[in-house]
Amino acid sequence: MALISMRDFSFAFPGSQQILRNVSLTIEEGSFTVLLGPNGSGKTTLLQQLHPVLAAHGDRTGEILWRGKNVSRETSDAVASRIGFVMQRPESQIVTDKVWHELAFGLENQGLGDDVIRRKVAEIATYFGIEEWFDKDVSELSGGQRQILNLASVMVLNPELLILDEPTAQLDPISADNFIQMLHRLNYELGVTILAAEHEVQKILPFASAMVVLTGGKISAAGAPRDIIPDILKHNPSLASAMPVAAQLYWESHSAASRIPLTVGEGKRWLKSVGGDGAVAETAAGTATSVTQSTTSKGEGVTVPETPVTLSARDVWFRYDKNSPDLVKGLNLHVHEGEIFALVGANGSGKSTLVSLLSGVNSPYRGRIELGGTRIERIAPRELYRNFLGVLPQDPQTLFVQKTVAADLKDVAKRRRRKDDRDELRLQESIERGAEALGLMHVLERHPYDLSGGEQQLAALLKVLLLRPRILLLDEPTKGMDEVAKQRVIDIFHELQRQKVTTVFVTHDVEFAARAADRAGMFFNGDVVSVDRVHPFFSTNNFYTTSASRIARDRYPDAITKDEVIACLTRANS
């Protein structure tokens, strides 16, 4: 039975163009629906329109039905109380200062007594595993814990429908996994109907019973994942790269197998089933090597670029207080000029500490960090951040200070160099060129805060790039980005590389690291361990590696990105 549905629904903010166009959508009771769409396709607007209280005001046509009945002014409160909503940013939806109070907040709003609230809060805290941090302040929690708290404080109201707007976009991969597992449990054990917007579908899709694709405010496909994924792969190239790697491999190799694989396990089994003969594997492995142009093979040792070292850390130790534990312990890192270097594996405090050290915000208590051969402390701040070191911080919002993206970009471009860039026209031109390359033309006149998470990242990146840095340090550059945006970032990286700009980025996105970087290092326990070129790096890693490598490593041990595996497959086929 349909729990909630939209019929021929259109929406526009007053005085602007339509965001949703003739959307018809049905969410079945007990289903787990994933809403998929590129950045800025109207996902958030659609989800908010389904919630009577959160629906923005504007021109609405069409209707929304709850259990087959039109949601009217009289019934909207009743419907709202049956829907739970979790937003993207974990921080900004927490209301109170204590975990227990946050859980009780919704129940207090219903005017319930202490005994009832105590019972419900205890129940929900136990179900979500919150007991250990039940008495804590919310400011002490990690991002993952905060998002679990948001989910729990919505679930305590016992909603029938749970709507989530990119709930894992701001989380590290382990917290994201936990969160998705929790959603699966709610759906599987309690029968809660779930509608979640995501663009990172790899992890969530195996649990989904239905999938809806939204492009440009219109529904372009809807149905069971296995039914519609082939369609997307065939007709929608911009979304195709967001599909599970296994499905893409299956599709690109024109496989004859009847069932499309969605998970790594299914992908592995499928690859075994399509001709596992040794000769093929051997030649394919050879091809893979040539395709990937890997300069190393096992036993040859690590090759390093020949250009001089431009960013180096030697025996760096750091802690925040005299009595707090060391967060960085004897870290060594050498990045060469013009190199693209990925640091993976760091999470929580380790990551932000690392970025703050490499960007000169904090100083190590032992060891030295050098940029271009000079100790970072010796470089005057004025010199350091102008035309030398560009840093993209974790929260891109903190970079924006103007009312429109265009004004913000202009603000920074104005102050990079004195003479040759002063000229208004050249300035405008460089902004437009950058915006064009990053696909930001359509958002230039918007307020920076109104952009989607991925668009904010892109705009912030452009802002940093307009300072013309020689060394670029990026903290989670792809957070919230769709596949198209990621590809644009990779293109920018390569363009910068041609200009001998060094790029170092810290990321959780292994797929992105494998595609974008030359070399990669793993940050673990306060040190960078196992630095290597990306191909040997990911192909020797067993756990911390790309999906493509996990699926195909038995046959093509050197292929780490899905394009490489596809290249190997097509060669083997022909």
Partner 1 sequence: MRWMARSRDSFSVAHPAVNFAFYAAVLGISMFCLHPFVLGISLVSAILYGAFVRGWRHMARLLGVFIVPGIIVVAILNPTFNHNGVTLLFTLSNGNSITLEAIVYGVALAITLAVATAWFVSLNVVLTRDKFVYAVGRVFPTASLILSMSFRFIPLFLRQFHDTTVSQRYLGHDMRSARWWEKIRIALTVTSSLFTWSMENAIHVSDSMRARGYGRRHRSSYSPHRWDTRNVLLLVVIASLAGITIVATANGGLAAQYDPTIVISGIHAAPSGVWTWLGAVAFLLLANVPVAVRLFDVYLWKRYERALRLGPGTRRQTRWSVVLGSDDVSAEKQKEKVPQWR
Question: Which residues are near partner 1 by CB under 8 A?
Answer: 51, 53-54, 77, 80-81, 83-85, 87, 89, 91-98, 100-101, 104-114, 117-118, 121, 137-139, 153-154, 157, 356, 359, 361, 380-382, 385-386, 390-391, 393-395, 397-401, 412, 415, 449, 463-464, 467
27, burial (CB in 10 Å: exposed 0-12, middle 13-18, buried 19+): buried
Select 71 or 412, whichever has its Cβ closest to partner 1.
Answer: 412
**306/321 with CB nearer partner 1:** 321
Minimum separation from the CB atom of position 338 to partner 1 (A): 22
Nearer to partner 1, 219 or 435 (CB): 435
Nearer to partner 1, 70 or 397 (CB): 397
Q: Which residues contact 411 (CB under 8 A, 6 or more apart)?
A: 401, 402
In the complex, what is the shortest distance from the CB of residue 125 to partner 1, in angstroms, rounded to a whole number?
11
Least separation in angstroms between residue 553's CB and partner 1 is 39
**Residue number with CB closer to partner 1 (83 or 346):** 83
Nearer of residues 343 and 565 to partner 1, judged by Cβ: 343
Specify the residue, 51 or 562, whose C-beta has the smaller distance to partner 1.
Answer: 51
Provide the 3-class DSSP secondary structure of residue 483: helix
CA dihedral 54, 57, 59, 63 (to 10 degrees): 30
Nearest-approach distance from CB 336 to partner 1, in angstroms: 23
CB of 89 to partner 1, least distance (A): 7
Closest distance of CB 48 from partner 1, Å:
9
In angstroms, the CA 145 to CA 139 distance is 11
Taken in order 223, 229, 234, 236, the sign of the CA dihedral is positive
Using the minimum distance from each CB to partner 1, give the nearer residue, 22 or 402.
402
Instruction: Work out how close the CB of 114 gets to partner 1 at its nearest, in angstroms, rounded to a whole number.
Output: 6
Minimum distance of partner 1 from residue 259's CB (angstroms): 40
**Integer Cα distance of 517 and 340 in angstroms:** 5
Distance CA 531, CA 405 (A): 37
Three state DSSP letters for 226-244: HHHHHHHHHHCHHHHCCCC
Cα 495 from Cα 356, distance rounded (Å) = 26
Q: What are the structure tokens assigned to 40, written together?
A: 């800025």
Place of tokens 């911009």: 238
Q: Which one, 76 or 209, has the nearer CB to partner 1?
A: 76
CA 90/CA 272 separation, integer angstroms: 41
- Give dist(CA 155, CA 128) in Å, integer: 10
Cβ of residue 21: shortest distance to partner 1, in angstroms? 24
Mention every residue, 6+ apart, whose C-beta is less than 8 A from residue 360: 369, 376, 377, 379, 381, 384, 389
If we measure between CA atoms, which residue out of 124, 187, 114, 119 comes closest to residue 153?
A: 124
For 268, other C-beta atoms within 10 Å of its C-beta total: 18
**516 and 490 Cβ atoms separated by less than 8 Å:** yes
Residue position matching structure tokens 């599970």: 244
To partner 1, the closest distance from the beta carbon of 352 in angstroms equals 10
Residue 308 in tokens:
């001089």
Name which of 262 and 384 has its Cβ closer to partner 1.
384
